[in-house]
Amino acid sequence: MTQAIELGKGLYWIGVKDPTLQVFDDLFPTQFGTTYNSYVVKGATGCAIIDTVKRKRFDEFLEKLRSVQDPAEVTHIVVNHSEPDHSGSLALLLKHCPKATVVSSQAARTFLGNQIHTPFAAQVVKDGDTVDLGGRTLKFLAAPFLHWPDTMFTLLEEDRVLFSCDAFGAHFSADSIFADELPDFSGEARFYFDCIMRPFKERITQAVAKVEGMELTLLCPSHGPIYRKETAEPILNYKKWAAPKAGGKKVTVFYLSPHGNTETMAEAVVRGASDAGVQVTLCHINHASISDIRDLMEESDALIFGTPTINRDIPKPMWDVLAYLSTVTLKGTIGGAFGSYGWSGEACKMVEERLKGIGFKLPAPFVRTPFLPKPEVIAECEALGRTVAEEVLKK
């Protein structure tokens, strides 16, 4: 596809599709590829490009731009977010747009300075600032940490079109760019949220409040389909997905136990925490989905991890769970560790180091034992659970 797609009078999609992409940013699987969405807005006295595309797709992007606009007459290039999948073509584009001013947040301006090592005209905007294109007004809404510190939304006021950058997007490439012409891709939208947006739920709530209730004609994210109908639905989904879970004080014990020894310890930890008067959930990590594990992490005031040591290390399934801590919005950062081992017992110390490294408070030292735990070790596990729960109750 080398032609731009008209979205409205003087409004065009000039993005590119990447349908064969299997892993995004070397991090997230993309079963249906993705799109890098870019837009052109024309006014009577100015023309703006909203975001660019990944650098390796620049030639196709430039061809689409030229089909609707002489690049030499572009007056503004809006960078809603400076991550390279959106700004990667900016340096190349500026060579074709000598009149263009780059419009961005201050954080994005700083980041771009470290990506583009040549001078360019820049305009830093704050929440509520506007740019007049002649009968068409771009209004900028700060949306930091959706999902970088530099992110903002751009609202085309007269047309009620929201360019939301990564928010409300999905890694989904199909024949059409319009959501209403596609099969259900809600699973990909939720997976995208969980992988990219979920760690910033409080920020999501703040950003959603700025656009909730707007009667939008188009919702235009930077990845995936454009919404022409039901434009409120993705916004309401983000509000729901980011809402805090209600409930009392809760401790979750995650464990892995190849031979049952760590499981015996886990049950003792649960007894101790329960005796202190908090709600306790015991979760065998191989019997729970990633989504279930993340939900438990977000709902809990404290997290305790039980792991064996295998080949002087934490087994990979538990390493994966510990990695999920960076992908969620944690309610509490109180923790603990325990586990059994055979001929060495390094795993518990590694768990503690991981937890301390991301700011957890550990009110009790780890408990570990070789093979089958003795009665005195069971008592230590009960004490561990009780101490962690008591720390939760102080909050």
User: In DSSP terms, which residues pair with 36 in a beta bridge?
Assistant: 16
Per-residue pLDDT, averaged over 34-57, amounts to 97
Amino acid at the residue 215: E
Say if residue 113 is in the same domain as residue 256: no
Give the SS3 label for residue 185: coil
Say if residue 188 is in the same domain as residue 308: no
Q: Is the pLDDT of residue 27 over 90?
A: no
Confidence band for 1, pLDDT divided at 50, 70 and 90:
low
Candidates 122, 65, 121; CA nearest to 96 is 65
Q: Which domain-ending residue is among 214, 242, 270?
A: 242
Query: What range does the domain containing 107 cover?
Result: 5-242
Q: Which residue has the higher pLDDT, 27 or 256?
A: 256
pLDDT in tens, 63-115: 999 999 999 999 999 999 999 999 999 999 999 999 999 999 999 999 999 99
Say if residue 230 is in the same domain as residue 163: yes
- The CATH code of the domain that includes 283 is 3.40.50.360
In percent, the amount of the chain with pLDDT more than 90 equals: 94
Say if residue 176 is in the same domain as residue 262: no
Say if residue 366 is in the same domain as residue 283: yes
Q: Which domain-ending residue is among 205, 221, 242?
A: 242
- Note the pLDDT of residue 92: 97
Token pair in block for residue 198: 């979920």
Per-residue pLDDT, averaged over 127-132, amounts to 98
Say if residue 112 is in the same domain as residue 196: yes
Torsion of CA 370, 375, 379, 385, to 10 degrees: 60
Torsion of CA 109, 112, 117, 118, to 10 degrees: -50
Residue 300 located in a structural domain: yes
Mean pLDDT of the chain: 95
Strands 23-24 and 28-29: antiparallel
Say if residue 17 is in the same domain as residue 144: yes
Rounded to whole angstroms, the Cα distance separating 1 from 124 reads 34
Say if residue 238 is in the same domain as residue 255: no
- The CATH code of the domain that includes 127 is 3.60.15.10
Residue 395 located in a structural domain: no
Q: Which residue has the higher pLDDT, 332 or 245?
A: 332
Q: What is the DSSP letter of 71?
A: G
Q: Is the pLDDT of residue 350 over 80?
A: yes
Residue 210 located in a structural domain: yes
Candidates 323, 390, 385; CA nearest to 357 is 323
First to last CA, the chain: 57
Candidates 211, 223, 129, 118; CA nearest to 170 is 223
Residue 40 located in a structural domain: yes
Instruction: Encode burial over 105-115: b for 16+ CB neighbours within 10 A, e otherwise.
Output: bebbbebbeee
Residue 47 located in a structural domain: yes
Say if residue 270 is in the same domain as residue 291: yes
Residue 394 located in a structural domain: no
Say if residue 94 is in the same domain as residue 216: yes
Confidence band for 244, pLDDT divided at 50, 70 and 90:
confident
Residue 317 near residue 285, CB atoms below 8 Å: yes
- Considering the entire predicted model, what is its pTM? 0.86
Q: Which domain-ending residue is among 242, 266, 297?
A: 242
Per-residue pLDDT, averaged over 43-50, amounts to 98
Q: Is the pLDDT of residue 2 over 80?
A: no
Q: Is the pLDDT of residue 241 over 70?
A: yes
**Cis-peptide into 287, omega within 30 deg:** no
Say if residue 381 is in the same domain as residue 303: yes
Say if residue 287 is in the same domain as residue 190: no
Please give the tally of structural domains in the chain: 2
Q: Is the pLDDT of residue 246 over 80?
A: no
> Residue 263 contacts by C-beta under 8 Å, 6 or more apart in sequence?
255, 257, 284, 306
Q: Is the pLDDT of residue 153 over 70?
A: yes
